[in-house]
Amino acid sequence: MVQYNFKKITVVPTGTDFIDIILSRTQRQTPTVVHKGYAISRIRQFYMRKVKYTQQNFHDKLSTIIDEFPRLDGIHPFYGDLLHVLYNKDHYKLALGQINTARNLIGKVAKDYVKLLKYGDSLYRCKALKVAALGRMCTVMKRIAPSLAYLEQIRQHMARLPSIDPNTRTILICGYPNVGKSSFINKITRADVDVQPYAFTTKSLFVGHTDYKYLRYQVIDTPGILDRPFEDRNIIEMCSITALAHLRAAVLFFLDISGSCGYSIAQQAALFHSIKSLFMNKPLVIVCNKTDLQPLEGISEEDMKLVMEMKAEAMKTVIGQGGEPTSEEGVLLTMSTLTEEGVSAVKNAACERLLDQRVELKMKSKKINDCLNRFHVAMPKPRDQKERLPCIPQAVLEARAKKAEEAAEKEKRKLERDLENENGGAGVYSADLKKSYILANDEWKQDIMPEILDGHNVYDFIDPDILQRLEELEQDEGLRQEQGADDDLEMDGEEMTPEEQEALAEIRKKKSLLIQQHRIKKSTAESRPTVPRKFDKDRKFTSKRMGRQLSDLGLDPTFAINRARSISRGRKRERSLDRTDDGADAMDVDAAQPNKKLRMRSLSRSRSRSRPPSEVVPGEGFRDSAQKVKALKIAKKSVKKRNKDARRGEADRVIPSLKPKHLFSGKRSIGKTQRR
């Protein structure tokens, strides 16, 4: 579990922002109205509260900064030295010391001015003391503005540091630049470290995680190290030196035997001997990389001698508790990150050696006695002098052998990625998705699957006895032809009477005309205008025609014809109603006064009348007009507030209230522009 999470450190505001935040909070969280008519004790309490509240806010914010930033003396030495390399320990402590000093100064200022405010004799003098107290606090904060800016830069950089747990199982990769360290960590973990063909592509520590024997290991990729004096190394190299010095990990020293990194084997061996003191008491594996360019057996004798010397030194780095060097297994390994040959072997060897060392250290510790006391190993009592070796059942041996064969076959099996590289790469090679189908016959794998039509498989329409049915149909057809049976579905004119022939000819003629008319209408449907009834020259839609059709159906057309005529004359004024009994015009002043009700009726018929809102229309669901009026009132009332709120909003590009009351009421008196 990671013990140090620098990403949770609170943001450090700048000096100006710090002052604005605190003073704005004081203005919002404390009373703002005071009058000179108040008792002097109340006025003193008013301003003392403001000074104390401001000092407390400054104290809380500064204490948060001091507490959240790590103390270099109290954290793991790896992080302590790493922060010292990146930010200079002296500057870091000096900045935090200035923050602490500012916190103490602000506390003293508040204490002094609260003491003076106790003896303030007027509103003016108390306010002046309050302004002076807040001003001195702000002056202190302005003086430490550079320290705040420096700590904010450190906080941002620390948040980008990798989350390294110094106490867990760790594999550390080191060596010259451009020898393949980042390529290796990309192969065995899910880390995505940038890989480029030039030196110092990796400028900081990168962390990935891998699994071995159901245990999680963290793999750290370090920047390249050059063989030069300690004081000449830069910050990038010092990150690697710090990790090697303080992390208890298995070290993989990468050696480029091809020389393509720009450094010879002699130079790399010199680097190994110069930093071998950092490898003491750590499992060390020398990895000869890039064997695809230069095999280990093909290097010169001088280089081979240097490699063997490095191997001998690597065996001496980890001395067992009995004082003997470790075995030669897994000390010198070869691999190629390009072809991935030997990558898993290097990872397994490093994890195995680290695991053995950690178990050995735990076995020698004092805690192991407490753990061993909880175990009891039962041993059978000897019955005779005969030696009985452990018996492993034959089934277990066979299962173990079978599992080993499957593992070997799995390693030899070609992956789709290998087949793709062999057959032209991506875009050229097309994977066969059917080769893993589990079918009764392997020849069926490449069969073309039947298509689907209207939700049915084509195979559903195939009758297994179709050939037999076809033969039966052919025999039946042959018998019908022999008997001279004709198709009864076709009408023959010779079998019909003359009246039926005439009716058939009339039906066919009418059918052809209807088809022809329909085709004409369909072809001219878009460009054909709608003809009003009064311009209907063909008189296709007349009341007489409607009457004939209704009569043919056996219905009386009189009522329908009269109703159509009365509706068609709806907008014409009835002369019988517009004239009086004497024949005089109703609009004539000298004429006799007509019936007022009759006249209003005649005028109202000249135009259509609107339906009142309270009238109930069948199908609306209301019992009577009173219920409809009540429902309309409730609906209008329910949308009133919503319509009022929707008049002006955020999207209307207006300021709803130019002077909000909670910001402008009781804050300042007329003629005063000084707020604090």
Which sign does the torsion angle of CA 78, 84, 89, 95 carry?
negative
Beta bridge partners of 585: 579
Same domain, 353 and 278: yes
Q: What is the 3-state secondary structure (H, E, C) of 574-612?
A: CHHHHECCCCCECCCCCCCCCCHHHHHHHHHCCCCCCCC
Burial of 161 (0-12, 13-18, 19+ CB in 10 A): middle
Beta bridge partners of 170: 218
pLDDT at 672 over 70: no
Same domain, 64 and 186: no
Q: DSSP alpha helices (H): ranges in 324-377?
A: 343-364, 367-372
pTM: 0.51
Q: Which pLDDT does position 592 carry in this prediction?
A: 42
Same domain, 254 and 325: yes
Same domain, 177 and 70: no
Segment among 326-335, 630-639, 648-657 with least mean pLDDT = 648-657
Burial of 637 (0-12, 13-18, 19+ CB in 10 A): exposed
Secondary structure of residue 158 in the 3-state scheme = helix
Domain stop point among 338, 366, 394: 366
Q: What is the CATH number of the domain that holds 19?
A: 1.20.120.1190
Same domain, 209 and 94: no
**% of the chain beyond a pLDDT of 90:** 17
Going from the C-alpha of 447 to that of each of 429, 430, 453, 455, 570, the distances in angstroms are 21, 18, 19, 21, 78
pLDDT at 538 over 80: no
**525 lies in some domain:** no
Closest CA to 27 of 44, 47, 58, 50: 50
Domain stop point among 586, 608, 628: 628
Q: Which pLDDT does position 582 carry in this prediction?
A: 45
Name the residue with tokens 């209704």: 550
**255 lies in some domain:** yes
Torsion angle (degrees, nearest 10) of CA 195, 196, 201, 206? 0
**252 lies in some domain:** yes
Closest CA to 154 of 108, 105, 93: 93
- Cβ atoms of residues 51 and 110 within 8 Å: yes
Burial of 195 (0-12, 13-18, 19+ CB in 10 A): middle
Q: Which pLDDT does position 321 carry in this prediction?
A: 37
The identity of residue 222, as a single letter, is T
Per DSSP, 444 falls in state G
Same domain, 47 and 25: yes
Q: Which pLDDT does position 584 carry in this prediction?
A: 42
**Residue 525 vs residue 479, higher pLDDT:** 479
Helix 77-87 / helix 89-117 crossing angle, nearest 10 deg: 90
Same domain, 333 and 361: yes
Q: Which pLDDT does position 531 carry in this prediction?
A: 62
Give tens-digit pLDDT for 159-216. 888 888 888 888 999 988 888 888 888 888 888 787 777 677 777 788 888 898 888 9
What's the CA gap between 270 and 228, in Å, rounded? 10
Q: What is the mean pLDDT of residues 269-278?
A: 86
Same domain, 145 and 242: no
**Residue 302 vs residue 582, higher pLDDT:** 302
**445 lies in some domain:** no
Strand order in the sheet with 284-289: 206-212, 215-221, 170-175, 250-256, 284-289, 332-334
Closest CA to 357 of 288, 309, 285: 285
Q: DSSP alpha helices (H): ranges in 180-261?
A: 181-188, 235-246
Give tens-digit pLDDT for 2-24. 466 788 888 999 999 999 999 99
State which of 43-52, 549-558, 598-607, 647-656 shows the largest mean pLDDT: 43-52
Radius of gyration of the chain (CA): 51
Give tens-digit pLDDT for 385-399. 888 777 888 888 889
pLDDT at 267 over 60: yes
**289 lies in some domain:** yes
Q: What is the mean pLDDT of residues 640-663?
A: 69
DSSP string, 462-529: --TTHHHHHHHHHHHHHHHHHHTPPPTTS--GGGS-HHHHHHHHHHHHHHHHHHHHHHHHHHTTTTPP
Question: How many structural domains are present in the chain?
Answer: 3
What token pair was written down for 576? 């019988």
Domain stop point among 94, 129, 158: 158
Same domain, 135 and 190: no
What's the CA gap between 190 and 183, in Å, rounded? 11
Going from the C-alpha of 232 to that of each of 225, 226, 227, 229, 267, the distances in angstroms are 11, 10, 10, 5, 17
Q: What is the CATH number of the domain that holds 175?
A: 3.40.50.300
**12 lies in some domain:** yes
Segment among 321-335, 412-426, 448-462 with least mean pLDDT = 321-335
**20 lies in some domain:** yes
Q: How many residues does the chain have?
A: 676
Give tens-digit pLDDT for 117-127. 999 999 999 99
Same domain, 116 and 192: no
**Residue 120 vs residue 565, higher pLDDT:** 120
**98 lies in some domain:** yes
Parent domain of 613: 571-628
**pLDDT band, very low/low/confident/very high, at 439 (cuts 50, 70, 90):** confident
**pLDDT band, very low/low/confident/very high, at 600 (cuts 50, 70, 90):** low
Going from the C-alpha of 333 to that of each of 252, 300, 327, 328, 452, the distances in angstroms are 10, 18, 14, 11, 58
Same domain, 185 and 331: yes
pLDDT at 606 over 60: no
Q: Which pLDDT does position 520 carry in this prediction?
A: 84
Same domain, 134 and 14: yes
